[in-house]
Every structure is written in structure tokens, then in C-alpha cells.
Structure 1
Amino acid sequence: MSTSKAMPAAVVLFALGVVAIVAMFVAGDRGLPAWVFAAGWLLAPAGLALGVFSAVRNSRRRA
């Protein structure tokens, strides 16, 4: 089974987004830099979307 090159990138993006979200919960009320909030807000959904797109494209290629 071959995977596209986009799938590992999607996993990395999603993992970085999840790490940023966990960092927000761990930090609590203490101030975090704005890039942490932006990373949590953008990276996890972008990784999920890229992963779904890659999986759909890979399944259509084989059919």
C-alpha cells in the first residue's frame, strides 16, 4: 500500500496543532504568545483537511 507524500505532512501539521492546543490548556491563565493560539487554531484543522484530501485522492487513484 503506497501513501502519498501529503499524508506524513498532514500528520505532522495535525500533531503540532494538538500540541499547541494542549499547551494552551496546560498554561491556564498565564499569557501565551499569539503564535501559540494561531498554531492551535490553524494547524490542527489544516492537518486534518490535508489528511482527508490525501486519503480521498489516494483512494480514487487506485479505483
Structure 2
Amino acid sequence: MSTTPKLMPLAVALFALGVVAIVAMFVAGERGLPVWVFAAGWLLAPAGLALGVFSAVRESRTRR
């Protein structure tokens, strides 16, 4: 039986990419970045966080 959730690495990767995009927005300022960087910052970090919470809850329920 595996104790590592299968979705958690994906959640961590999505969250990390979102945080990198957010940091890039602060470093570069409002101008000079493509739209996809702003979209990544707004969408990937919350999606990664939600997937991580979902994965943790799902894993805790299957262990009972």
C-alpha cells in the first residue's frame, strides 16, 4: 500500500508554477510580461492549492 497520494506531486507542481508566475509579475512589474504569465499566476496557484487539499482529504479517507 502506497502512503504517498498520487495527486499530490501534481498539486505541488501546479502551485509552484503559479507562485513562480506571481513572483515574476512582482519582479517585472505590470508591463513587459505576456498575458499567459498573468493567467498562470491567477489560475495555477489556486488550482494547485485546491488539488492538494482534495488529494489530502481523499487520502485521509481511504486510509481509515
Runs of 4+ in 1 over 2 A off after TM superposition: none
Q: Where does residue 13 of structure 2 map in the other structure?
A: 12
The 1:24–1:42 alpha-carbon spacing in structure 2 relative to 1, beyond 3 Å, is same
Q: Which runs of 5+ in 1 are unaligned?
A: none
The residue correspondences of 1:17-36 to structure 2 (distance < 5 A) are 17-36=18-37
Letter in 2 for 1:60: R
Query: What is the root-mean-square deviation of aligned Cα atoms in Å?
Result: 1.1
> As a proportion of its length, which structure holds more helix?
1
The normalised TM-score by structure 2 is 0.92
Q: Which runs of 5+ in 2 are unaligned?
A: none
Q: Where does residue 54 of structure 1 map in the other structure?
A: 55
> How many residues get paired?
63
